[in-house]
Amino acid sequence: MSNIGSGVAITYWQEVMKKLENKMNRMKDQIGEKCPHFAGEDGKYDNIHTDWWTSGFWPGMLWIMHDMTGDKAYRDAAWSWDEMLEQWLVKPTVELHHDVGFQFLSTAVIKYKITGDEDGFRRGLEAANFLAGRYNPAGQFIRAWNGDKYGWAIIDCMLNISLLFWASEVTGDPGYKHIAIRHAETTMQYGVREDGSTKHILSFDPEDGHYIESFGGQGYSPDSTWSRGAAWGLYGFANTYRHTQDVRFLNTAKRIAHYFISALPEDSVPYWDFRLPSLEGQSRDSSAAAIAASGLLELASFVPEGEKRLYADAAERILRSLTENYAVWDQPEHESILLHATGSGTSFIDVSLIYGDYYYLEAIAKLNGWKHRVY
């Protein structure tokens, strides 16, 4: 068991942060102006369209590094991303949806928090208004994707609602916060099972709001637990407690955390689903591990000292395993940080994913004293 605050633990995480600084210096030059999503066996990140849901994670990594090091090169590389993304709030696109939180929290909002930039503030509020506009008052949920799935909500949105909490905080308008709380309550009621396992897609009647059923989505089945979905829920409910101080959300985060921790394999990095009929030939998901670790650190900060060790130690076990078994340190040509991530059982299998890299960096930064939370 590790000891956060001990000289040994502090030195370890400081050394990892130094390794990340060296890695990020290379990545900054290698990725350049690309908008990365995944990297395959060659270790080269792709270059996707900027309206894709993952477009905020790379600039978010740049902002974290600028905040941690003071290096203006990171700030310069990150500066124009929120302006680039703003165009999709007014241009036709089928890709912009509930994930605007991921896109604008780690670009416009963090830019405003660190620099006070008024355009970042304005763009963050524009995105919050867009997200609030997806709220279905009959069912009390935020609609997920576009197309004809008007009654669908997904566990991922539990982190996106942080954009609404921020908007209430900076404007004084509680309307944003009310939407976020109603969505969290709905997800808590229908998306989290009694044992702390989670569902991915929830289906409601968009007209009268009644709950219909759940779908497996990116998980194995409707009755299984997609590990990254559980990580979204763990972090999202912990963060909802931070913004509301409502103990219901804290207890829900704890339930998910206990399920997640107890279901981990020996090396503390989950398979892509926790309820697979067989593990033979199945892929791990290092991105789920990184998201959960960052969420566990948040959860640890809210509870009494006796409980703190449970969540903090679990986070450190996960991060140590990622650092020592899943990270790429000795291949300078490799553009990603973490290997062995999985998008779902049918797509992006055993690859590197930019959001896995983001949450790994975020968690390590937290262990080194990073204060500018964006979620």
Judge whether residue 4 has pLDDT over 70: no
Q: What is the pLDDT of residues 231-245, one digit of tens each?
A: 999 999 999 999 999
Q: Using the predicted structure, report yes or no on whether residue 1 has a pLDDT greater than 70.
A: no
Mind listing the pLDDT tens digit for each residue in 68-122? 999 999 999 999 999 999 999 999 999 999 999 999 999 999 999 999 999 999 9
Q: Phi-psi region for residue 304, left (φ > 0), alpha (ψ -120 to 50) or beta?
A: beta
Select which of 67, 82, 99, 357 is catalytic: 99
Q: What is the pLDDT of residue 104?
A: 98
Structural domains in the chain, CATH included, are 7-367 (1.50.10.10)
**Per annotation, catalytic residue among 51, 67, 82, 156:** 156
| CA dist., res. 165 & res. 143, Å (int) | 17
Amino acid in position 29: D
Q: What pLDDT is stored for residue 6 in this prediction?
A: 58
Cα–Cα distances (Å) from 212 to 16, 50, 157, 206, in that order, read: 46, 34, 19, 10
Nearest partner of 357 among 270, 297, 293, judged by Cα:
293
Rg (CA), the chain: 19
Binding residues: 99, 156, 228, 232, 344
Q: What is the mean pLDDT of residues 128-156?
A: 98
Q: Could you report the per-residue pLDDT of 212-221, keeping only the tens digit for each?
A: 999 999 999 9
pLDDT digits (tens, 9 = 90+) for 284-340: 999 999 999 999 999 999 999 989 999 999 999 999 999 999 999 999 999 999 999
Residues contributing to the annotated binding site for substrate: 99, 156, 228, 232, 344
- Give the CA-trace dihedral at 374, 255, 308, 170, to 10 degrees: 20
Instruction: List, in sequence order, the alpha helices (H) in the chain.
Output: 7-31, 57-69, 72-78, 81-86, 100-104, 110-115, 118-132, 157-160, 162-171, 174-191, 227-244, 247-262, 286-300, 305-321, 354-367
Question: What is the reported pLDDT for 3?
Answer: 45
Contact present, 185 and 249 (Cβ < 8 Å): no
Taking only the tens place, the pLDDT of each residue in 162-184 is 999 999 999 999 999 999 999 99
Please say whether the beta carbons of 184 and 247 come within 8 A: no
Instruction: Summarize the confidence of residues 222-236 as an average pLDDT.
Output: 98
- Residues 205-224 as b/e (b if ≥16 CB within 10 A, e otherwise) read ebeeeebeebbbbbbbbeeb
Catalytic site includes residue 76? no
Average pLDDT, the chain: 96
Q: d(Cα 303, Cα 67) in Å, to the nearest integer?
A: 27
Q: Look up tokens 């740049």; give the residue.
A: 62
- Residue 99 bears catalytic tag: yes
CB-based burial label for 43 (10 Å; 0-12, 13-18, 19+):
middle
Amino acid at site 179: I
